[in-house]
Amino acid sequence: MGAPSQLPPPRATVGRDSVLSAVVDELLVEGSTVVLGPPGIGKTNLTLAALHDPQVEAHYGRRRYFVRCEGAANASEVVAELARAMGLSVAGDDLLGACLESLRTTPSAVCLDNAETPWSIDQLNCEELFGHLTRHSTVLISMRGLELPGGVQPAHRVSLDELSLESAKELFLMAAGERFDQPALDPLLDEMGGLPLAVELLAHALHGEESLDSLARRWRSEQTRVLKRGAGDHRLLSVEVSLEASWNDHLMTSSARHLLSMLSRLPHGVATVYVSSLLPDGADAASVLRRRGLAFDEAGRLRTHPLIRHYVATAHPPGPAEWERAIAKFRHLPAKHVLQSAAALTEPPIAIEALWDGDTTGWGVWLSAIVLADGKPAERSLGFLRGLGGDIRLFNAQVPPWPDAEVAAWAGRMIADQFNVPFWFPSPIYPEEDCPRYLERHLGTPCAQCGIPLLQRGPCPWKGVCYQCHLESSRQTRRKTKPLAE
């Protein structure tokens, strides 16, 4: 028997006091713990901090074994790694028997770090191994995802959450230096979503920058590509490598990948009840993503972490046709009454028009069909689209396009195509009441700035330009006007 390998050195651990002391307590009573959480959240950091705790050290001494499982493809390879960590000869028929025999004699703590890799490939054998180890020693397992593996129950389960902004700041300043405690730091850290790996790599990226502002600019243009150091070829050196490992996880299904691609385009996620509308097997895909720690539920919506979203949106965006198919269903929901009115038209339309209308409660878009009734043009209202701020707005993350206008444009175009007639939507981007109707279109004059057709009846303080362009010019003027001297 050789010497057991050294534990890797501890790293600084911030913001985990209560969860760390719970893991330490469990180790001291020789109970097993499984630490779960999304990629880069600090599972390994926490297990190492617990193993290095002075009381744990006093209890187990050198019999604290740290087994890296990220390179193991099955249970036998985990056993080989364990034997190496314990200093047992790797040759021999019954390596597991030899490990268990040795573990039984004196209290030992075995940490299987990143056990998700072998477990996702060789689940049953790994669970059998976890069971054996739990009976003979204290086991501390860290795994990506939120799924408790079999074999270790009953176990203390720890699910790691994001770091608070305060802790993220402490971690950042520890790595970057206190002088970067500047107002621009909080919003930048906020975008890291409390992921320690990202915070650490962001602090590192600062080394090549002249200031926090230039780092923030780089982050805005390059996003997760900034979050790497050195060769960036290991999950600890690059957020993208870390996330790609989860994307390729053996337990990811192709529909889970599709759903994650869709979620990457939905900053506020999707209402859980609509997940199956996004994808036929959406419920199953959502459950895979939750178990892998790649999506979570919040206030009735399925969402993903902002960094995962940024990465997947760039590396694995949904195909345009797939995306269009998925959101068409959502556009259909609020436009349903309009489509029904169009289907019930008895006179053939000659055009479909969409016009803004507003009052003190907000803007909306009227959709109408211009029909020929007894040979004369007449208007048939198809419906009013307003207040669609809910789910559809989230497909855009911002306005414009206004969700009401987007739905109106989609439904109007579809109805017009159906009847093979023109679709008239003179102000498709911004709300504007002073546009000519389809039958008056020859009377319109283009806005002097953006060119949309206008029909401004009576006196108008911004004659010749549309309301939006008028607002924009007023804003510019205000910006140029110096504040009054005191």
Contact residues: ligand ATP, CB under 6 A: 11-16, 37, 39-45, 114, 142, 144, 171, 196-197, 200, 235-236, 242
Q: Are 403 and 393 in contact (CB under 8 A)?
A: yes
Name 351's bridge partners.
370
Residue found under tokens 């609509």 = 274
CB of residue 23 vs ligand ATP: minimum separation in angstroms?
13
CB of residue 196 vs ligand ATP: minimum separation in angstroms?
3
CB of residue 113 vs ligand ATP: minimum separation in angstroms?
7
CA distance 111 to 144: 14
CB of residue 113 vs Mg ion: minimum separation in angstroms?
6
CA distance 314 to 243: 12
Of the chain, the end-to-end C-alpha distance in Å amounts to 83
Tell me whether strands 109-113 and 138-144 are parallel, antiparallel or unpaired.
Answer: parallel
- Give the H/E segment covering residue 116: helix 116-121
Residue with smaller CB distance to ligand ATP, 37 or 306 = 37
CB of residue 352 vs ligand ATP: minimum separation in angstroms?
52
Residue with smaller CB distance to Mg ion, 114 or 138 = 114
Residue with smaller CB distance to ligand ATP, 266 or 294 = 294
What are the angstrom distances between the C-alpha of 17 and each of 14, 144, 179, 223, 385? 8, 21, 26, 31, 52
Positions in the binding site for Mg ion (CB under 5 A): 43-44, 114
78 contact, one of ligand ATP, Mg ion, none, CB 5-8 Å limit per kind: none
CB of residue 461 vs ligand ATP: minimum separation in angstroms?
57
CB of residue 165 vs Mg ion: minimum separation in angstroms?
23
Residue with smaller CB distance to ligand ATP, 19 or 96 = 19
CB of residue 133 vs ligand ATP: minimum separation in angstroms?
19
CA distance 24 to 10: 14
CB of residue 11 vs ligand ATP: minimum separation in angstroms?
4
Residue with smaller CB distance to Mg ion, 114 or 167 = 114
Residue with smaller CB distance to ligand ATP, 13 or 137 = 13
Task: Find out whether the peptide bond into 436 is cis, omega within 30 degrees of 0.
Answer: no
CB of residue 70 vs ligand ATP: minimum separation in angstroms?
7
What's the one-letter identity of residue 290? R
- Length of the chain in residues, anyone? 486
Residue with smaller CB distance to ligand ATP, 175 or 350 = 175
What's the one-letter identity of residue 389? G
Residue with smaller CB distance to ligand ATP, 174 or 429 = 174
117 contact, one of ligand ATP, Mg ion, none, CB 5-8 Å limit per kind: none
User: Residue 146: which of 253, 35, 242 has the closest Cα?
Assistant: 35
Token digits of residue 136 = 């003979």
Residue nearest to ligand ATP (CB): 42
Q: Are 118 and 74 in contact (CB under 8 A)?
A: yes
Backbone CA torsion sign across 79, 80, 81, 85: positive
What are the angstrom distances between the C-alpha of 120 and each of 38, 67, 74, 111, 217? 15, 17, 9, 18, 39
User: Who's near 420: CB < 8 A, 6+ residues apart?
Assistant: none
CB atoms within 10 A of CB 207: 10
Residue with smaller CB distance to Mg ion, 268 or 291 = 291
CB of residue 384 vs Mg ion: minimum separation in angstroms?
54
40 contact, one of ligand ATP, Mg ion, none, CB 5-8 Å limit per kind: ligand ATP
Residue with smaller CB distance to Mg ion, 59 or 144 = 144
- What single string gives the DSSP state of each residue in 116-152? HHHHHHSHHHHHHHHHHHHHHSEEEEEEEBSPPPTTS
What are the angstrom distances between the C-alpha of 474 and each of 182, 312, 362, 455, 481? 33, 40, 21, 21, 11
- What single string gives the DSSP state of each residue in 279-318? STTHHHHHHHHHHTTS-EEETTEEE--HHHHHHHHHHSPP
CA distance 471 to 424: 24
Residue with smaller CB distance to ligand ATP, 10 or 61 = 10
What's the one-letter identity of residue 442? H
